[in-house]
Amino acid sequence: PQEDPSGTFVQLRLGLAQTSCRKRAPQRPCRVLESRRKPTCLACYKFDTGDVPKVLDKYHNCGPSHHLAAKEIRQRDEAECRAVEEAGRGGDTPYLPGMFAFSRGLPA
């Protein structure tokens, strides 16, 4: 995680693999099925600095690592994660529901 005054940014990169175990009755140990696809997942989260951190922005994507457009997917993922990292900085803070409250005054 990276911390700055606007919050904490976390980036995770995960590799998934299919195993021989079934969902309903998992057995130990599970062996990885080598012939299956192994997608790579990227997840980025930005949390505020409150006592109970709230998610300011997030991005996640899982794509096959063998895909022909892997370079384009990786570039898009990096751009999306940079945007998540910038959340809460400067004057471009996004409007969040409940951020402002308005009331109607009585007629004059």
Residues near 87 by Cβ (< 8 Å), separated by ≥ 6? 6, 7, 46, 56, 57, 93, 94
pTM of the model: 0.62
For residues 26 and 84, give the distance between their C-alpha atoms in angstroms, rounded to a whole number. 36
Please give the order of strands across the beta sheet that includes 55-64: 2-4, 7-15, 39-47, 55-64
Residue pLDDT, tens place only, 62-91: 876 555 567 777 888 888 898 888 888 765
- If the chain, 108 residues long, is cut into consecutive pieces of 10 residues, what is the mean pLDDT of each piece? 77 85 73 77 89 88 68 83 84 57 63
Per-residue pLDDT at 90: 65
Per-residue pLDDT at 102: 62
- Domain ranges (residues) in the chain: 8-86
Per-residue pLDDT at 43: 92
